[in-house]
Amino acid sequence: MICPIGPVDRLLLHQLARRITARCGLLCRVSSTKLDNPRYAYNETRRQYDSKTILHCLKQRSKEKGEWVLGVTSVDLYVPILKFVFGLAEVEGRCALISLHRLRPEFYDAPPQDALLLERMEKTALHELGHALGLTHCRDRRCVMYSSTHIEHTDQKGPEFCPSCGELFKWRVRKQKERGD
């Protein structure tokens, strides 16, 4: 389930849900309710939002609903050891989080492009879902599991898993289904 956090374009979320379903066979839908803007995670000094704090909130929602949750927000995210992150996942968990803030072309002084934003969203969401299923970063620069520390990395890689990561992803999904997760 995709859960909007704060103001997020619902049309983009529905397009993302369709792409995730088509790409990896996971039935994905957009929640009819959204979470409020995550003020509780705001760090005044950094002027960013602590992604781990938001992920913890998503974990609670996942437990309540008994399903996987992908949070999507427009706020700028960080983890303490990095200047920013595009997303974060609970490794081998049921939650992932992505931010549109630095995925938007406008952040890099380019004109708005919904198609490019959606492509970046898809890659980032699949990457974080891969982490949630226990996948690590891949060395193949074309694989969606390649680490993106700059937006150029996200743009250069494809929206697909390499053969190794793809097989591991499918295997982990099967194991989750067998366990009833």
DSSP result, 37-67: P-GGGEETTTTEEEHHHHHHHHHHHHHHHTS
Burial of 12 (0-12, 13-18, 19+ CB in 10 A): middle
User: What is the rounded distance in angstroms from the CA atom of residue 110 to the CA atom of residue 148?
Assistant: 19
The active-site residue, picked from 90, 92, 128, 167, is 128
Structure tokens at 109: 């002084």
Task: Give the CB-side neighbour count of residue 137, counting CA atoms within 13 A.
Answer: 10
DSSP state of 36: P
Rounded (10°) CA dihedral 31, 67, 122, 168: -170
Q: Catalytic site residue 128?
A: yes
Asked whether 16 and 4 are in contact (CB, 8 A), the reply is no
User: What is the rounded distance in angstroms from the CA atom of residue 19 to the CA atom of residue 28?
Assistant: 9
Tell me which residues are annotated as active site.
Answer: 128
